[in-house]
Amino acid sequence: MRMLINVPETVVADALRGIAAAHPDLTVDVENRVVVRRDAPVAGKVALVSGGGSGHEPLHAGFVGPGMLSAACPGEVFTSPVPDQMVRAAAAVDSGAGVLFVVKNYTGDVLNFEMAAELADDEGIQVAQVVVDDDVAVSDSTFTAGRRGTGATLFVEKIAGAAADEGAPLERVAAVARQVNGSSRSFGVALSSVTTPAKGSPTFDLPSGELELGIGIHGEPGRERRPMMTSGEIADFAVDAVLEDLRPTGPVLALVNGMGATPLLELYGFNAEVHRVLSERGVTVARTLVGNYVTSLDMAGCSVTLCQVDEELLRLWDAPVETAALRWGR
């Protein structure tokens, strides 16, 4: 096992200590596994709280800050955070205007956030929830009932976060988040397996010279395996899978996302192919984001997420953001 760690048992705690050292604008509670904007709670502002298993960095702690999340709850690697974390985070950021939970559609996350919402309500915290389920690869998978939540989580957190920072009420922030989720679709491809610190070896077998089309961010099976394809061929398959389901009638945001071990050189080359396919299909790209944002530890591969936007969603996307992983306009 070649990993830059001490021992598997302390991987998440060690990473949180590192986040605290690198980002003094965040309050990091290593023991209770909560990352909070240092200026929280912000008077009169709806707070956004998200979280999930670690191993997908910079999701979610890397998206905490002005214009995006108010707090994040990292679980153990590929394991949901627990309700106590979520309630603690909600209490730390609630200004009285309410809290929106952004939840990726994985069974553990959904159940624990639902329980946390009930506990928060008992403490007088108004909570709304949006479940992100953008992955078109499969209808059900190892960890989910229904579609998996993947790259659209970034779009939801950024756009709803901007609405919250502008002072929109909880009902409006939640409606924006649901609109973004409903307008987004994703498809992922794996070129290698993923290795978790606890296991120390690949979690599934992907023979050399093959790839998995439709992989999940925990290594869940996709649609099919094929011999290795070119970047252009992968873009044709992935973008067509998204467009077949999304069928956009207007401009889109495009996220070309790396799974963790794919160099930017390759991602930018893949982005060129994605834009080629979209142009050939008559789809206008309003904005593009390229990089490793919703990852799967050391998996090589990529995903494509498209979100159809109107003028209001595009304005909120362009609004200032200041987090560890996304920064513009400030």
Three-state secondary structure string covering 13-43: HHHHHHHHHHCCCEEEECCCCEEEECCCCCC
Structure confidence at residue 144 (pLDDT): 74
Q: Residues 174, 231: one domain?
A: no
Residue 296 has pLDDT above 80, yes or no: yes
Given 182, 198, 214, the domain boundary residue is: 182
- 329/325 Cα distance (integer angstroms): 14
Q: Residues 201, 302: one domain?
A: yes
Given 130, 162, 182, the domain boundary residue is: 182
Answer whether residue 121 is part of any domain.
yes
Catalytic residue among 23, 60, 218, 275: 218
Q: Which of these, 72, 137, 139, 135, lies nearest to 109 by C-alpha position? A: 72
Answer whether residue 197 is part of any domain.
yes
Q: Residues 73, 197: one domain?
A: no
Q: Residues 246, 300: one domain?
A: yes
Residue 330 has pLDDT above 80, yes or no: no
Residue-wise pLDDT tens digits, 77-90: 999 999 999 999 99
Given 182, 204, 219, the domain boundary residue is: 182
Catalytic residue among 23, 56, 60, 275: 56
Answer whether residue 266 is part of any domain.
yes
Confidence of residue 323 (pLDDT cuts 50, 70, 90): very high
Structure confidence at residue 84 (pLDDT): 97
Q: Residues 135, 229: one domain?
A: no
Answer whether residue 58 is part of any domain.
yes
Residue 212 has pLDDT above 90, yes or no: yes
Q: Residues 98, 213: one domain?
A: no
Answer whether residue 239 is part of any domain.
yes
Q: Residues 189, 166: one domain?
A: no
Q: Residues 131, 35: one domain?
A: yes
Q: Residues 154, 223: one domain?
A: no
Residue-wise pLDDT tens digits, 2-21: 899 999 999 999 999 999 99
Answer whether residue 3 is part of any domain.
no
- 319/303 Cα distance (integer angstroms): 24
Largest CA distance in the chain: 55
Q: Residues 158, 207: one domain?
A: no
Q: Which residues pair with 288 in a beta bridge?
A: 254
How many CB atoms sit inside 10 A of residue 200's CB?
A: 11
Confidence of residue 1 (pLDDT cuts 50, 70, 90): confident
Confidence of residue 139 (pLDDT cuts 50, 70, 90): confident
Name the least confident of 191-205, 224-238, 243-257, 306-320.
191-205
Q: Residues 23, 111: one domain?
A: yes
Whole-model pTM: value is: 0.97
User: Is 56 assigned a catalytic role?
Assistant: yes
Q: Which residue segment(s) compose the domain that 308 sits in?
A: 184-320
How many Å separate Cα 317 from the centre of its chain? 15
Q: Residues 151, 36: one domain?
A: yes
Q: Buried (b) or exposed (e) across 72-90, using 16+ Cβ within 10 A?
A: bbbbbbbbbbbbbbbbbbb
Residue 220 has pLDDT above 80, yes or no: yes
Span 137-145, mean pLDDT?
78
Contact between 262 and 301 (Cβ < 8 Å): yes
